[in-house]
Amino acid sequence: METHPALGVAVVDTAADDVIIWHVEVAPCGITTVNRLSGAWVLPNSDTRIPSLVAGRTVLSSSRARGLVIRLGAASLIEPVASLSAVRAVQEDLQAAFDSESVSRRTHRRSPTWPVLPNPTGPWTPGRREVVGVLAASRWLADLAIGWTKTERQRILRPYLKVDFRSFRG
């Protein structure tokens, strides 16, 4: 299965006889002109379009939909708490690099302003309508992508903040 990271992330849940899918664009702002929340579907389980909306994509899914997205060939699965922790860790590493640079050069530089990152809100709480849960998860993911973009902008503005992100896994 070929992976298509440029396709964005699929947020997926299941309900009775339906599959709910919302596509979220997570590319940094300015790279794409597509809206962050770029497509939504509520389809019957038997709909032949479902595999093309999930296969090869990174997926954020409810526990109910996890088996389905794996069978459909999701490229990878997002773990919300781990993703949030990873972005926060990068912010802490960048702040430590800034602090170290300021001390070593004995200069006063403007400290980076790190964006507040959204906490996962437990969008798939039992009793909530599944479409509402998928929308809440999609908005959380879009907000996290915006926070990451703002974090990257702070890093790029300061050439002394060099961090190797090749090992970053959200």
* Tens digit of each residue's pLDDT (9 = 90 or more) over 126-159: 445 678 888 888 889 989 988 988 888 888 888 7
Q: Note the pLDDT of residue 43.
A: 93
Tell me: pLDDT of 10 over 70: yes
Q: Note the pLDDT of residue 3.
A: 45
Q: How far apart are CA 122 and CA 136, in angstroms?
A: 9
Q: Give the relative orientation of helices 80-105 and 130-157 as an angle to the nearest 10 degrees.
A: 20
pTM: 0.79
Q: Which residues pair with 37 in a beta bridge?
A: 24
> What's the mean per-residue pLDDT of the chain?
82
For the chain, the domains span 5-157
Tokens 């088996």, residue? 67
Read off the pLDDT of each residue in 54-65 and give the average, rounded to a whole number. 92
What is the separation, in whole angstroms, between the first and last Cα of the chain? Answer: 21
